[in-house]
Amino acid sequence: MTEQVRRDFVKYSFFKVDPEWRRLPGKERQDNKAQFAEVLGEFSDRVSMSSYSMVGTRGDADFLLWKVSEELEAINELMARVNHTDLARYLTMPYSYLAMTRRSPYIDDHKHEGQEGTGSATMRIIGRKYLFIYPFIKTHEWYQLPKEERQELMNEHFVIGHKYPDVKISTAYSFGLDDQEFVLGFETDDPSHFLDLVMDLRESKARPYTLVDTPIFSCIAKPVEACLDDLG
């Protein structure tokens, strides 16, 4: 019997606040923030979560909740509770991505210390200052290539990634779960390193097999209370 390997569900939820909320009395807004943060805290034992402000980085989203859990039901229950908060009446979700972890099919032939995909197929939020996220879809032609050729192209990706050891990638798989195939998250303390990494990847031999790699979200890690304070 095949050993069951733990795999996590990953959910990225992007929120936008209605400007009408900023016109509420200050006391009411503070109460809304406290209630929202309290609800998130109730799930700390079932959902690993990190919050990010996007005020000043995008115009169509204000903050992000990155959630990781063994149970899809836990994420469902958390978001249901969020929907019942007073703040939720003023929130929309312009972007939302669901995915799961799994071991990379290309990792066994290219091993190095601390690489993504080793050990159990789980996801750990590192907690660096910046997070960059985008959905990703490969072309149909990619999947028609022989496995050996795809492995060679991915090895080039790994080599490029080695140049930026402080940029931690978290790859999640969405096949059959959501519209994209992957959701890629990059944690770093220096945005310039991520920019340089992306520029190098643009020149890789695998680039012609990219169909979708936007929108890209630039996020700043903050406690949820600070994210909400950024809203007004």
Q: Omega of the bond prior to 25 within 30 degrees of 0, cis?
A: no
pLDDT at 2: 47
* Nearest one of 48, 90, 87 to 71, comparing CA atoms: 48
Distance CA 36, CA 78 (A): 11
SS3 177: coil
Distance CA 55, CA 21 (A): 15
Domain locations in the chain? 9-99+220-229, 101-218
Contact 47, 68 (CB under 8 A): yes
Q: Judging by beta carbons within 10 Å of its beta carbon (0-12, 13-18, 19+), is residue 146 exposed, middle or buried?
A: exposed
Superfamily name and number for 9-99+220-229:
Apc35880; domain 1 (3.30.70.1030)
**pLDDT tens sequence for the chain (232 residues):** 445 678 999 999 999 999 999 999 999 999 999 999 999 999 999 999 999 999 999 999 999 999 999 999 999 999 999 999 999 999 999 999 999 999 888 876 545 555 544 444 778 888 899 999 999 999 999 999 999 999 999 999 999 999 999 999 999 999 999 999 999 999 999 999 999 999 999 999 999 999 999 999 999 999 999 999 999 8
Strands (E), the chain: 9-17, 48-53, 63-69, 91-100, 130-138, 168-173, 182-188, 210-212, 217-221
* Nearest one of 176, 6, 47, 173 to 100, comparing CA atoms: 173
Helix 72-83 vs helix 26-41: crossing angle, to nearest 10: 160
Give yes or no on whether 9-99+220-229 and 101-218 have one common fold.
yes
* Residue spans of alpha helices (H) in the chain: 26-41, 72-83, 140-144, 147-162, 191-202, 224-229
pTM above 0.85, yes or no: yes
Give domain 101-218's CATH architecture. 2-Layer Sandwich (3.30)
